Amino acid sequence: MNKLNTFIQVVLTVFCLLAVTEGRSAEARAGTSACTDCEKLYQQAIACLKENREREGLEYLNASISKAEAAKDSFWIFKGLYRMGRYHDSNSRYKEALTCFLPLLKFSDRVLPNEDRSRIFDGIASIYFEWGMSDRAFDYYLDAEKFSRSIKDSVGQAMANYQMGRIYYHQGEYQRALDAYNKSMEVGRFKPDDRRQAMYLAALGSVYEKLEQPELANTYNNQALEIALKTNDFTLPYIYHNIGTIALKLNQRGLARASLLSSLDFFNAYEQENKGDSHAKIGVLLSLGKLESEEQNPTAAIKWLEEGLSLSLKEGFARREAEVIKELALIHLNQNKDNLAATYLSRYSHIQDSLFNDENRRHLELMKVQRQIEEEAAENEKIALLANRDKAEAQLKFKIFMIVSIGLAVILALLAYFIRLLRRSNSLLANRNELIQEQNQALEASNQALEEANLELKQFASVASHDLKEPLRTITSYAGLINRKYKNLVEEDDKTFFTYILEAPKRMQRLLEDLVNYASLQYEQAPAEKISLDKTLNTVVHNLSNRIGDSDASVKWEVNDLNLMAVPTQMEQLFQNLIGNGIKFHGEAAPVIRITAKKLSAGTEVTVSDNGIGIDPEFHDKIFGMFTRLHGKERFEGSGIGLATCKKIIERHGGHIRIDSTPGTGSKFILFFPASICSWERAAYTV
């Protein structure tokens, strides 16, 4: 019997091995064919991109990646995504580049060599830096530095420190930038006349210039220039620009002119070779304009600056455009061309506003892209797990079928085989439980990422509340000084320009305050407490006392001593917005605002009514949206955020808000609070 069992087991083993071997051979043949196709498509893509046939090249790359994904060929997936990411990055399509780069970090060390992984860290960081997200860029450069240090890559380590220094430099943290650049020089292990030294030495010169140490700055710039001239390095025009800028500060105008013109010559030559840097060239033209302005040559200064302005417009460099326009405004102001100067200043203000809005929009868009990429990656992992499970189940069924086909004659051997299969199934079940546990951990990580996103929103609100207000206060102060100095020297009609300049920062500050209040509702978890609506309304009326007195308004309420479990500051903000609107949007009659409360079975309705201008019913659903305004700023000023804030506050307390209004008859805002947060007594107040 034992011999029979042994014989049957041998037959089954050989049969299964033959079947599995044949399956693997078929898979290997299919994989080899797919690899060949991937390589052909990839080479066709490279050829098209070199010939500037972008559409065809990207189509070939997508086809290569799709073919590789179908064949599960990690090597060609990586090559295709990496090449496409570099192409998008070189063409300033940062969102598309990031979509290609981020998934690459999930590849294993076997698929992704060390030097490639380091390049991807650097590529992702550079994209974030170009998008103005310095904190995220710094994190990836720091990862690149740690990784380069772990594999003892001194070149990569030096470059990562250099890039972190650039971030510190652009943030105005010059001492930290100096430390990072010195670290690059320390770990770089440069050979004599290594062209990389020119870049790092020039960076040190730039920092010492900012630290008001021109002698040290000149020393490093001259060392960089010596190496760059020997190696004909691409940094030559940048070094000449640095030297010219320092000479201009030291009033060495002859040296400044010669250095700046040399820098401009190199940039022009690079343009002929399709290696130009228009952004840096505009900086040189701006410096030449300042030089001519200081030498009292306004015509020459305007010539350089207008060339810089033309190039800025052509390349779409809004920040450079703003810098040039500001300098042109100063020159025209010095020439007493106040109207032209005011035109340039108005244009400068418009560009600055656009840049602020673009940065916020870009920041939100990038966060959305990264979230989409992470969600897609999680979904792909889930699909892969399901595919592995299906494959395991298919293999199990195949083996069972093979065993059954032997027949009833080998029932004892089948019984032993089934026992082994049961053990294997238990092992698979344990593996699946392990995978489920990993998925739960991934879900916890996603929740952590969401908390970090809320923290970033809080940081943004902090920046908007503090850092962004400081430039507005500076603009207001200097505009006030200019107004007091020149208001008696200009025509009466021209004084309106000063009014525009003084009023615009105030409107921007009010908008920032409204945005911060709205954003804080997204992340603040202030505790609710029992508050009296009567006392809350008293506080609100006290806050609005000046406006009430100026408009001869009447505010009355009868709320039967309604108490709410709510956040006090949010309730004050809610009713201050609604009462303030009633005071603001009124006709010829003095404003009359009335607040009443009515108990319902499901909760409480609080009605805020006024005798104002009213709102057309077609706009009732729109007025609670962000930045919704129904009237021009000339008639009624405001940010268009107040009612959106009211809606957010009432919803955070489990209620809702609606409006009942027609033009000319006033408005009623009906607030519903759920019964769970309401309690009653009796009282009435009148102002």
The pLDDT assigned to 685 comes to 41
User: Starting at the edge strand that comes first in sequence, how are the strands of the sheet with 656-661 ordered?
Assistant: 656-661, 667-674, 603-610, 592-599, 554-558, 685-686
Tokens representing 154?
A: 């001194």
DSSP of 155-212, one letter per residue?
A: HHHHHHHHHHHHHHHHTT-HHHHHHHHHHHHHHS-PPTT-HHHHHHHHHHHHHHHHTT
- What span, in angstroms and rounded, lies between the C-alpha atoms of 250 and 213? 11
Residues 550, 482 contacting (CB under 8 angstroms): no
3-class secondary-structure state, position 672: strand
3-class secondary-structure state, position 686: strand
Residue length, the chain? Answer: 687
What is the separation, in whole angstroms, between the first and last Cα of the chain? 106
Tokens representing 451?
A: 């908390």
Q: In DSSP terms, which residues pair with 603 in a beta bridge?
A: 674
Using DSSP bridges, classify how beta strands 554-558 and 592-599 pair: parallel, antiparallel or unpaired: parallel
CA distances from 540 to 36, 172, 365, 537 (A): 74, 42, 38, 5
Q: At what angle do helices 154-170 and 134-150 cross, to 10 degrees?
A: 160
- What span, in angstroms and rounded, lies between the C-alpha atoms of 262 and 291? 15
DSSP 273: T
- What span, in angstroms and rounded, lies between the C-alpha atoms of 252 and 246? 8
Q: In DSSP terms, which residues pair with 557 in a beta bridge?
A: 595, 685
The pLDDT assigned to 507 comes to 60
pTM for this predicted structure: 0.45
**155-159 contact pairs (CB < 8 A, 24+):** 155/188, 155/196, 156/115, 156/118, 156/122, 157/187, 158/183, 158/184, 158/185, 158/187, 158/188, 158/196, 158/200, 159/122, 159/184
Q: Which of 596, 568, 592 is nearest to 582 (CA)?
A: 592
- What span, in angstroms and rounded, lies between the C-alpha atoms of 89 and 129? 12
Encode 669-682: b = buried (16+ Cβ within 10 Å), e = exposed: bebbbeeebbeeee
What is the chain's Cα-based Rg? 35
Q: Which of 460, 477, 569 is nearest to 512 (CA)?
A: 460
The pLDDT assigned to 34 comes to 61
Q: In DSSP terms, which residues pair with 659 in a beta bridge?
A: 669
- What span, in angstroms and rounded, lies between the C-alpha atoms of 548 and 668? 19
Q: Which of 150, 157, 214 is nearest to 180 (CA)?
A: 157
- What span, in angstroms and rounded, lies between the C-alpha atoms of 409 and 328? 99
The pLDDT assigned to 4 comes to 43
How buried is residue 360: exposed, middle or buried, by Cβ count under 10 Å (0-12/13-18/19+)?
middle
**pLDDT per 10-residue tile (average), the chain, 687 residues:** 48 46 45 73 89 88 87 82 82 77 67 65 77 78 83 84 86 89 84 78 88 89 87 84 88 89 87 77 89 89 90 83 87 86 84 73 65 64 67 76 71 76 84 85 78 64 59 72 73 68 63 61 73 92 88 88 89 89 83 93 92 80 66 53 84 90 87 91 47
- What span, in angstroms and rounded, lies between the C-alpha atoms of 320 and 166? 18
DSSP 409: G
- What span, in angstroms and rounded, lies between the C-alpha atoms of 264 and 281? 7
- What span, in angstroms and rounded, lies between the C-alpha atoms of 638 and 249? 44
